Amino acid sequence: MRRIKFTLAYDGTEFFGWQVQPNLPTVQGTLEAALSEIEAAPVHVTASGRTDAGVHALAQVAAFDLNNPIPLPNLRKAVNKLLPPAIRILKVEDADPEFHPIRHARSKIYEYRIYREEILSPFDHRYVHHHPYPLDVDTMMDLAPLIEGEHDFRAFAASDEKYEAGEPLVRYVYTSELREDDDRLVYRVCGTGFLKHMVRNLVGTLLEIGKGNLHEEGLKKLLRPAPETPFGSAGPTAPPQGLFLVSVQY
């Protein structure tokens, strides 16, 4: 038995997220089906984190155990041949038998793309959030770095998620930056880990700031929540198609 690390890209449009769901196309399910065909036995794949339905990955990391002694380059080719074109294995490596893509991740980078012009290209609509309305972009750019540092992010957690008492909701965000790139806004965030919906809720919150519905003090308050602050009280959750998992650092 050997442990293998995959780096893969996917277009999330046609998948119901990463995690296996019965009778629905998911990235994990599609990948496991391909690997199980090669292994001629069930293969279980773990990723650095679950991405939601419609969310994309430029370089997700996943790991699994395999008995089949197929050389790594051949494995990459064989899996890519079995996968639909919306998922591509970019890199295949031998990993330590103990390698765990979630627990060993030091940090992750996500990017969120917002398109601001009136007419959205038919070639972009799967990959940006279309927001052709006025925004105070300067204030959004000024306040985005307030998210950096160690915070209890319960206000940015998914409101429908069940959290156990005492479950750590503190995360460390290394960088949080919004920049203008031609006709789009790009938000990039790097942190130790992210709660479910956290990046989309951060973007939704920045959009509220851009619309003038939330100000510096309001954002600071969301980042210093009281223990009774409800999960997901920030937001709203920005739509999934603008979100890309850019990379995972180990």
Catalytic center residues: 52
Query: Please, which residue, 3 or 126, has the CB nearer to its own copies?
Result: 126
Of 60-68, 115-123, 180-188, 215-223, the window that binds its own copies (rule: CB under 8 A) is 115-123
Amino acid sitting at position 138: D
Over the window 152 to 191, marking each residue x when it contacts its own copies by CB under 8 A and - when it does not, the resulting string is ----------------------------------------
Q: If binding is defined by CB under 8 A, does position 11 make contact with its own copies?
A: yes
Q: CA–CA separation, 49 vs 55, rounded Å?
A: 12
Residue 71 within binding range of its own copies, rule CB under 8 A: no
* 123 makes contact with its own copies (CB under 8 A): yes
* Amino acid, single-letter form, for residue 96: D
Q: Which residues pair with 109 in a beta bridge?
A: 190, 247
111 binds its own copies (CB under 8 A): no
Which listed range, 88-96, 148-156, 171-179, 212-220, lies at the site for its own copies (CB under 8 A)?
Answer: 88-96
Q: Of 90, 145, 220, 249, which one interacts with its own copies (CB under 8 A)?
A: 90
Binding flag, residue 122, its own copies (CB under 8 A): yes
Give the Cα separation of 80 and 6 in Å (integer): 12
Contact assessment for residue 197 and residue 178, using Cβ atoms and an 8 Å cutoff: no
State the burial class of residue 167 (Cβ atoms within 10 Å of its Cβ: 0-12, 13-18, 19+).
exposed
Phi-psi region of 217 (alpha: psi -120 to 50; beta: other; left: phi over 0): alpha
Contact yes or no for 171/198 (Cβ under 8 A): yes
Residue numbers of the site for its own copies (CB under 8 A)? 9-11, 56, 80, 85-90, 119-123, 125, 127
